[in-house]
Structure 1
Amino acid sequence: MTDAELAAHLAHIAGRLLLEVRDSGLITGKELGDAGDKTANQFLVAALRQQRPDDGLLSEEEKDSPERLNKSRVWIVDPVDGTREYGEARSDWAVHVGLAIDGKPEIGAVGLPGLGVILRTDTPAALPEAAAKPRMVVSRTRPAKEAVAVAEQIGAELVPMGSAGAKAMSIVRGEAEIYLHTGGQYEWDSCAPAAVAVAHGLHVSRVDGSPLIYNQQDVYMPDLLICRPEWADRVLQIVGQLDY
């Protein structure tokens, strides 16, 4: 099984487990989110350690180990990206299984279990036609002021959405054109989505235009831009002029 096939398979199984936990109806609210995180994490971590024992591993729900810093290949996973949306039985949450090689987001899969969809690096599809009026995905609860400012300058429609993975995949799926995030994330929030976005021909970078680099000692990532390539220069130019 190739790395990409493994990533997609694991994302699929983890998503199925998460739906089973939620659909059991036995728990709700925060307890449901915690149970989903724990169940999916246990599966992903155990499977990756068995299938790729020589690789490093970083998971949001697993205690970090400095051993990964000496590895060229590091799996970076988020068992439930968008725990709130998962608990609310929405569809805008995701499962991330990414592989960074020498710091680059090379391979991965993003599962959208609520939609029955998995997007992966080894089966890229052509980008759907862009909308005449650009659409920017933003947080459901706290749209970043930088995103709002860019939207105003380019005349974009703001589209509230849940998890980071769902936002990134909305660009791949042709549901929006731009995902600009400046509120801070962690490596597991974007590694798999970034890999999938690059494979589909999208622009992926920090908001200063520099590349996203993974498997760092400090896993905090302040910002990112995932967008259709025709919007990259304009958005980067506007963000570069903002004071934030």
Structure 2
Amino acid sequence: MSDADLAAHLADMAGRLLITVRDSGVFAGKALGSAGDATANQFLCHALRETRPEDGLLSEEEKDSFARLEHSRVWIVDPVDGTREYGECRADWAVHVGLAIDGVAALGAVALPGMGPGAGLVLRSDAPGVVPPAPDRLRMVVSRTRPAREAVAVAEKLDAELIPMGSAGAKAMAVVLGQADIYLHTGGQYEWDSCAPVAVALAHGLHASRVDGSPLVYNQRDTYMPDLLICRKAHADLVLATLAGLD
């Protein structure tokens, strides 16, 4: 199985497991989120260690091993991106399975199990679609619970519509699917929040960078990655300049 097929298969299967856990009726709220995190993490990490034993691995739900720093190929996974949304039985959560090669988000799959019919959607870096054109008034996805001050300020400058949404993966894929135009985040994230979504976004021809325009670099000793911009390439310079001009 190719790396791309593996990423998509694992993201899809983890999503199906999460739906099963949710629909079991045994857990609710925070307990559901914890059960989902543990179940999906165990599946993903065991599967990757079995199928790609020579690669490194970084998961949000496992203690970090700096042995990954010795590898050029490192799988970076978020078993449940948007644990709160998953625990609340919302649709805006995701499963991330990404592969960083020499620090670059080389490929990935993002499953959106709560969206669409059946097991939802899986967006893949190896099967890019056409991003729909932007409307006259741009739309910016922001956190539904704590929208970043800088993102709100940029939206005001651009007269962009704010769209509250849950997980980072759901917000990034909203841009890929043409449901939004800008995802600007400055509130703090980690590598697992963006590796797979960035790989998918780049494959779809979108811009993805830090908010100062610098590249996103993965498999670092410190996995904290505080900011992110995903948008159409045609809007990148405008958003970056607007952000740089904020007081």
TM-score with structure 1 setting the length: 0.99
Structure 1 counterpart of 2:186 = 182
Q: Partner residue of 1:62? A: 62
Q: Quick one: distance in 2 between partners of 1:63 and 1:222?
A: 20
Is 1:133 matched with 2:131? no
SS in structure 1 of the partner of residue 74 of structure 2: strand
Unaligned runs of 5+ in 2: none
Please show how residues 63-212 of structure 1 align to structure 2 within 5 Å: 63-115=63-115, 116-212=120-216
Query: What is the distance in 1 between the residues matched to 2:244 and 2:161?
Result: 21
User: 1:242, CA displacement in angstroms?
Assistant: 2.3
Paired with 2:125 and 2:142, the residues of 1 have a C-alpha distance of 24
SS of the equivalent of 2:22 reads helix
2:50 alignment partner in structure 1: 50
| Aligned residue number for residue 14 of structure 2 | 14
Is there any run of 5+ residues in structure 1 with no aligned partner, and where? Answer: none
Task: Give the CA deviation at 1:50.
Answer: 0.5
SS of the counterpart of 2:84?
helix
Task: Look up the equivalent residue of 1:220 and give its one-letter code.
Answer: Y
Residue 230 in 1 paired to residue 231 in 2? no
Q: Distance in 2 between matches of 1:224 and 1:33?
A: 25
Q: Secondary structure at the match of 2:48?
A: helix
Question: What letter is aligned with 1:157?
Answer: E
- Deviation (angstroms), 1:240: 1.2
Seq. identity, %: 73
Query: What's the CA shift for 1:88?
Result: 1.1
TM-score under structure 2 length normalisation: 0.97
Partner of 1:33: 33
- The one-letter code of the counterpart of 2:230 is I
Please give the per-residue CA displacement for 1:52-100, whole angstroms capped at 9, x wherever unaligned. 0000000000111010001000000000000011011111000000000
Q: How many residues align?
A: 243
The one-letter code matched in structure 2 to 1:160 is P
SS class of match (1:221):
coil
